[in-house]
Structure 1
Amino acid sequence: MGAGAGRTARDRARRELSQNFLVDRHAVDLLMEAADPAGTVLEPGAGEGVVTRALAERGARVTAYEIDPLLAGKLAARTRTHGGIRVVRGDFARARPPREPFAVVGNIPFSATARIVDWCLRAPHLTRATLLTQLEYARKRTGGYGRWSLVTVSSWPWFSWELVARVGRDSFRPVPSVDSAVLRIRRRPEPLVRDRRGFTELVDLGFTGIGGTVRASLRTRYRDVDAALAAAGIGPDTVVAHVRPDQWITLYEALSR
């Protein structure tokens, strides 16, 4: 029998679209507590609408995006009498962001995590994004392994990253192979760095890995690197992933004088 034998069209759609529906009310409550939804909220991957309805129950004005036409149609039919819910059939990551302050909340497809997070970080009026992601993804983005990623460091002056809660795999149907987590990304009231381009160039250079250490990479373009490293409390042999976001800010301040 072929690899797809015995699977229905819905089974194939769930696999292709990374559809793992949230069925645990406690997990929904954890997501809502972390999101504290109000005002305009966009929801990626609305699925069967469990999160959609929870957001609306808390008074949010929800625009729910669902790429699966069957699910989008069903959700639109179920919520058509609810004035606080609008269902959009389409890819959230291709949507135009609102021109007013808004939040993003959702149980997002694992396969689209990077695209959705990137969309959120680029949206000028986003206030916060509260997302159910793979646990490993959330830990990597919040320094959970003692290592920091490029996306977290480069956005740190403008956004904080926090792993709020762990959600077990049994909270979903079908049950995924890994646990999840509530990841919260919040725009800072005031940026920690004003020159986005200068900070980004510094971080990008550090993450090139030239020479194997932060010191070796930065010395290809900057002077007084050793003094800047000392001011930030970074050893000369430190590899880039072990440099904390706050240390990058100190590096930038020292090297941009």
Structure 2
Amino acid sequence: MTKRTHRYSNKKLSRGEPPNFSGQHLMHNKKLLHEIVDRANISKKDTALELGAGKGTLTTVLNERAGKVLAVEYDSKFVEILTKKTAEYKNTKIIHQDIMKIHLPREKFVVVSNIPFSITTPIMKMLLNNPLTGLQRGVIVMEKGAAKRFTSKFVKNHYVLAWRMWFDLYYIKEISRDHFSPPPRVDSAILLIKRKVEPIVSYKYYATFLGLAEYSLNNPNLSMDIALKGIFTPLQMKKLKRSLSIQQDTPIGRLTESHWGIIFDTMTKYVQRPLWPRTKKKL
């Protein structure tokens, strides 16, 4: 019999696991659960989205604080537990669906979740790639390495750079694996997301900026001259570097958010549109 594999992580599935099993590790520390919701600053005015609700330990804290809770869970056994546990809460809706197939709320919302580690990046892309969604802020428990990568000063991934044009990402704290059942093999951490009051790049240009980021960070260790070659003329590059006040050999991955705001503004003002790089990824 052919072994089935998980659709995102490509790991082999054990017997009894659903086809989209994604390695959920359920939190059970009540103090930590309340801290997570506190960090999200949830109030009765908020719609809270929970991705991977599990048995509802976080859900039952959220529905005491939020005006509306949307709890997404795929596992049928967990859905049954969730339904019973939240039966008395009229503000809570259980959504029995694959996380990666849901439609984000149309209204403004806050995401508060302990997400499946093996689909961390796909979930973050779903939440942050398009700044035109209603996401206002979020607190997400994820694999520590991913949280470090998303908040690092040295940016290796183009999509992380794009997120930072519209959202602030903060590494809050590490979480002991002892707070999970079953304990994960890797360390965990809390990541805080806040929508910027003033975006660095206008929302209407999100696809254009994603194209620039994808083109520029093909190799984050390259110098700015090489990484942006093909977009700017030598004279434009000289003026741009002067306005950025950076050293000659600064890697492109080391540039700050404000630097990228200047680069994008310069491109849209002085570079002909046919020379603007386009994203190759499906948005």
TM over 0.5: yes
Q: 2:67 matched to 1:57?
A: no
Question: Pairwise mapping of residues 221-232 of structure 1 onto structure 2 (< 5 A)?
Answer: 221-223=231-233, 224-232=236-244
Instruction: Give structure 2 stretches of 5+ with no counterpart.
Output: 1-13, 270-283
The Cα RMSD (Å) is 2.6
Cα distance change, pair 91–237 in 1 and its aligned pair in 2 (3 A): same
Instruction: Write the letter of the residue equivalent to 1:20.
Output: H
Aligned to 2:159: 151
Cα distance change, pair 17–202 in 1 and its aligned pair in 2 (3 A): closer
Q: TM-score, normalised by structure 2?
A: 0.79
Counterpart contact for 2:49–2:111, Cα < 8 Å: yes
Pick from 112, 115, 119 the counterpart of residue 108 of structure 1: 115
**For 1:90 and 1:167, how far apart are their aligned partners in 2?**
27
Question: Pairwise mapping of residues 1-257 of structure 1 onto structure 2 (< 5 A)?
Answer: 12=17, 16-38=21-43, 39-121=46-128, 122=130, 124-143=133-152, 146-194=154-202, 195-209=205-219, 212-223=222-233, 224-257=236-269
Structure 1 residue 131, shift from structure 2 partner = 0.6
Q: Secondary structure at 2:174's aligned position in 1?
A: strand
Deviations 1:98-121 (A, max 9, x none): 221111110000012112111212
Q: Secondary structure at 1:50's aligned position in 2?
A: coil
**For 1:21 and 1:46, how far apart are their aligned partners in 2?**
9
Cα distance change, pair 188–163 in 1 and its aligned pair in 2 (3 A): same
Structure 1 residue 55, shift from structure 2 partner = 0.7
Aligned to 2:281: none
Deviations 1:15-34 (A, max 9, x none): 94212110122321221121
Q: Which structure is higher in helix share?
A: 1
Counterpart contact for 1:229–1:251, Cα < 8 Å: no
Deviations 1:32-59 (A, max 9, x none): 1211123211100000101101111223
Counterpart contact for 1:231–1:251, Cα < 8 Å: no
Cα distance change, pair 211–98 in 1 and its aligned pair in 2 (3 A): closer
Cα distance change, pair 197–108 in 1 and its aligned pair in 2 (3 A): closer
Counterpart contact for 1:34–1:164, Cα < 8 Å: no
**For 1:221 and 1:59, how far apart are their aligned partners in 2?**
47
Q: TM-score, normalised by structure 1?
A: 0.87
Structure 1 residue 210, shift from structure 2 partner = 9.4
Q: Secondary structure at 2:152's aligned position in 1?
A: coil
Structure 1 residue 173, shift from structure 2 partner = 1.1
Cα distance change, pair 135–169 in 1 and its aligned pair in 2 (3 A): same
Counterpart contact for 1:132–1:181, Cα < 8 Å: yes
Deviations 1:109-153 (A, max 9, x none): 001211211121236111112110111111111116x44532221
Counterpart contact for 1:210–1:216, Cα < 8 Å: no
Q: Would you identify which runs of 4 or more consecutive aligned residues in structure 1 move more than 6 Å?
A: none
